Copies of this chain bind each other. A is one copy, B any other.
Amino acid sequence: MKPSIPKGTRDFSPAEMAKRNYIFDTIRRVFYTYGFQPIETPAMENLSTLMGKYGEEGDKLLFKVLNSGNFLEKIEDSRLKMEDSPNQASDAQTTSPSSTSLNRLAAQLCEKGLRYDLTVPFARYVVMHRDEITLPFRRFQMQPVWRADRPQRGRYREFYQCDADIVGTDSLLCEVDLVQMIDTVFRALGIRVAIHINNRKILSGIAEVIGQADKLIDITVAIDKLDKIGLENVNAELAEKGLPADAIAKLQPIILLNGTDDEKLATLRSTLASSETGLRGIEETEFILKNIHALQLQSAVILDLTLARGLNYYTGAIFEVKALDAEMGSISGGGRYDNLTGIFGLPGVSGVGISFGADRIYDVLTQLDLFPSEATEGTRVLFACFGSAEATWCLPIVSRLRQAGIATELYPDAAKMKKQMSYANARDIPYVVIVGETEMQSGNLTVKDMRSGTQATLTPDELLEKLNVCPQYADGHCD
Identify A410's interface contact among B17, B148, B173, B184, CB under 8 A.
B173
Alpha-carbon separation in the docked complex, A207 to B105 (Å): 53
For residue A337, CB closer than 8 A to chain B, the reply is: no
Nearest to A345 among chain B residues (CB) is: B1
**Are B97 and A48 neighbours in the complex by a CB distance under 8 Å?**
no
Q: Count identical subunits in the complex.
A: 2
For residue A458, CB closer than 8 A to chain B, the reply is: no
For residue A155, CB closer than 8 A to chain B, the reply is: no
**Given A35-B378, A43-B158, A295-B396, A412–B174 Cβ distance below 8 Å?**
yes
**Are B12 and A40 neighbours in the complex by a CB distance under 8 Å?**
yes
Stretch of A67-75, A217-225, A319-327 lying at the B interface: A67-75
For residue A110, CB closer than 8 A to chain B, the reply is: yes
For residue A29, CB closer than 8 A to chain B, the reply is: yes
Alpha-carbon separation in the docked complex, A426 to B427 (Å): 47
**Are B79 and A35 neighbours in the complex by a CB distance under 8 Å?**
no
- Min Cβ gap A108→B in Å is 11
- List residues of chain B with CB within 8 A of the CB of A138: 409
**Are B129 and A171 neighbours in the complex by a CB distance under 8 Å?**
no
Nearest to A9 among chain B residues (CB) is: B42
**Are A291 and B392 neighbours in the complex by a CB distance under 8 Å?**
yes
- Min Cβ gap A118→B in Å is 12
For residue A180, CB closer than 8 A to chain B, the reply is: yes
Within 8 A of B (CB), among A1-48: 1-6, 9-14, 17-18, 21, 29-30, 32-35, 37-46, 48
Within 8 A of B (CB), among A348-395: 378-379, 382, 385, 388, 391-392, 395
**Given A33-B406, A410-B177, A79–B92 Cβ distance below 8 Å?**
yes
- List residues of chain B with CB within 8 A of the CB of A34: 402, 407-409
Beyond A171-B412, A184-B402, 16 extra complex contacts between A and B, CB < 8 Å: A1-B345, A6-B45, A11-B40, A29-B478, A33-B402, A34-B408, A37-B378, A44-B146, A63-B65, A63-B66, A79-B80, A79-B81, A174-B412, A176-B395, A287-B388, A294-B392
- 10 closest A-B pairs by beta carbon, nearest first, are A171-B412, A9-B42, A35-B409, A68-B148, A14-B37, A80-B80, A134-B426, A35-B379, A12-B40, A33-B402
Query: Interface of A with B (CB < 8 Å)?
Result: 1-6, 9-14, 17-18, 21, 29-30, 32-35, 37-46, 48-49, 60-61, 63-66, 68-73, 78-82, 85, 92-93, 95-97, 102, 105-106, 109-112, 114, 124-125, 127-129, 132, 134, 136, 138-139, 144, 146, 148, 157-158, 166, 169, 171, 173-174, 176-177, 180, 184, 187-188, 287, 290-291, 294-295, 344-345, 378-379, 382, 385, 388, 391-392, 395-396, 399, 402-403, 405-413, 422-423, 426-427, 478-479
